[in-house]
Amino acid sequence: MRTFTLGIEEEFQTIDPVTRNLRSHMSKLVEGGKITLKERVKAEMHQAVVEVGTNICHNIQEAREEVTYLRKMILDLAAEQNLQVAAAGTHPFADWVDQLITEDPRYDELIDEMRDVARGNLIFGLHVHVGIETRNEGIQIMNAVRYFLPHIYALSTNSPFWCGRNTGFKSYRSKVFDKFPRTGIPDFFASSNEYDEYINLLVKTKCIDNGKKIWWDIRLHPFFNTIEFRICDVPMRTDETICLAAIMQALVAKIHKLQQQNLNFRPYRRILINENKWRAARFGIQSKLIDFGKQEEVEFKQLMDELLEFIDDVLDELGSRKEVEYVHKILEMGSGADRQLAVFEATNDMNAVVDYIVSETKLGII
């Protein structure tokens, strides 16, 4: 079977261990990390955000090694600065108004263009790249995989709180990001040429200066031969990140396999997929998503069983069966949002929620 390479990016919160609030000390972590991690660690627009990204990984086991190593390095660097690290889509009570912005011409330009929409984008995501051979192949796979984005998203939901409030959503991160242009589920594209014509039109009309300002939930990367999944909240546990990445890789491999057999998965319209994305954001793995083929609501667990059956015949070839089957653990223990909410319900204390996120972030690492 062809290798579907992986690249994984995680965005983390830097936490003051006393106040449990965000601490704008990311630059210290990045400076320290550059010695050993080089380009695998980088600053983000808000100084309390640090992002790490793996090298190109040839299988899910390599990806696990890289993700584990990078988390350990960031945790160690943070400890040297008397900081902690937390993996959640939003901080439970930090206010974006109080956060410092990283000095960088790129971020200055973004804030000049988007003002408080950019300043308020205090969110933390997981991005997974899956390697493809050609852009046209990538577009056809992207068209089909869009249907499964809400399923993956529900598993990742890990941002129920915003500015000290229980939002009622399992993932409020996506609601914050929706304020940006060119976000959400992408449209259907007939070919990579049509996709590139769209990008070129936006560049020509000065809507964007390059394809990286397409912030959809899934996109063809403008510079690499990858499909980039961008819909997920960053999960608390490494095991969750690896499970989600393995499912994404398997979906790409399965759609590719169907296409090689002159078959395909039926593409659905964005306006329909958006209905499931809303349900996933609101209710997470407790949601009922819509099976648009059957035209009926289906319990999430049943949908996951169907998804696992759909990708089953590529898992052994990818060597990712164990990693994918961790999904049963997520369904049993709850997504990150479910677990955060359980801690808050038991303690009525946002500090306890932060402490829990911090402990989960280093689970199996330290």
Helix, coil or strand: residue 277: helix
- Model pLDDT, residue 265: 83
Q: What is the mean pLDDT of residues 317-321?
A: 97
- Model pLDDT, residue 28: 66
- DSSP string spanning 284-341? GGG-EEEETTTTEEEEHHHHHHHHHHHHHHHHHHHT-HHHHTTHHHHHHH--HHHHHH
Spacing of C-alpha 135 from chain mean position = 22
Task: Report which of 12, 7, 179, 153 is spatially closest to residue 91, judged by C-alpha positions.
Answer: 12
Q: What is the pTM of this model?
A: 0.96
Do residues 136 and 192 lie in contact, with contact meaning Cβ atoms separated by under 8 Å? yes
pLDDT exceeds 80 at position 43: no
In tens, the pLDDT along 128-171 reads: 999 999 999 999 999 999 999 999 999 999 999 999 999 999 99
DSSP H or E stretch at residue 231: strand 226-233
The pLDDT-based confidence of 27 (bands split at 50, 70, 90) is low
Do residues 17 and 362 lie in contact, with contact meaning Cβ atoms separated by under 8 Å? no
- Model pLDDT, residue 46: 85
- Model pLDDT, residue 311: 98
The CATH number given to 6-361 is 3.30.590.20
Distances from the Cα of 256 to the Cα of 3, 129, 188, 252, angstroms: 12, 15, 17, 6
Residue type, 60: I
Helix, coil or strand: residue 343: helix
Q: What is the mean pLDDT of residues 184-196?
A: 95
pLDDT exceeds 70 at position 33: no
Q: Give residue limits of the domains in the chain.
A: 6-361
The pLDDT-based confidence of 41 (bands split at 50, 70, 90) is confident
pLDDT exceeds 90 at position 8: yes
Q: What is the mean pLDDT of residues 288-306?
A: 95
Do residues 267 and 147 lie in contact, with contact meaning Cβ atoms separated by under 8 Å? yes
Q: Report d(CA 16, CA 276) in Å as an integer.
A: 37
pLDDT exceeds 90 at position 295: yes
Which comes out higher in pLDDT, residue 65 or 267?
65
Q: Report d(CA 277, CA 150) in Å as an integer.
A: 5
